[in-house]
Amino acid sequence: MTTNASLPLVGKPRRTIKTTKVRARGEDFRIVQVHGSLLVCAVENCCCGHTDKGRPPVPMDLYNREWNARRLANHVHLTFTGCLGPCAAGNNALLVIHGRPIWFKDLNDDSLVPAIFDYIEAMLAAERVLPPPPELRDHIYDRFLPPPASDYVPLVASEDDGGGLERIDPVCLMDVDPKTAKWSTEYHGRTIYFCAPACKRAFERDPESYAIT
């Protein structure tokens, strides 16, 4: 069983999120389940971002700014990776969303980065995969073979023991044990716990952007 709650984006409608309990190193943790991940090929062990190989730098700061400004951490995870493989088509990125891989190629113009995040937000709002917008149409291709026609089969059962979102730091989404948490604040009649003072300060500056209800 998973736990449902709403966590808002700035200026956006609230979306339901879920946590699942996972066991690691002999302990139970609550993990926020996301809609997908954006993997951006960077400069480690690959061609993307290497100016000496004729590629423009990967604007990692721009990716981070867009991702943070849109409050996407609880919906789509952002990761900078090593080589994704199709070096000839770089700079590359891979978006996995709603169970579908979407490959981006030739990301050699900074204006494409906000367009990718606009596309992500549109698919989150629609709750399904959408055709690419015109500005991205020439930058998307299929690398993976289509999967066999079959229903989605979860590999493991998700479970939650009722702690769920009550244990989640709403800023960084870390699992925080209320019994040992050093930082907390009161908000609308409930206690919210944080993993670090920086998360508490971020929440108190703009609680409506992070509040779990």
- List, for residues 115-151, the tens digit of each pLDDT value: 999 999 999 999 999 999 999 999 999 999 888 877 7
Q: What is the pLDDT of residue 158?
A: 65
Domain boundaries, given as residue ranges, for the chain: 36-141, 169-213
Distances (CA, A) of 11 to 128, 163, 207: 21, 28, 13
CA distance 210 to 67: 15
Question: What is the tens place of the pLDDT at every residue in 41-87?
Answer: 987 667 888 888 778 889 999 999 999 999 888 889 999 998 888 88
Q: What pLDDT digit, counting tens, does each position of 158-181 carry? A: 665 555 667 778 887 778 888 888
Fold of 36-141: Glutaredoxin (3.40.30)
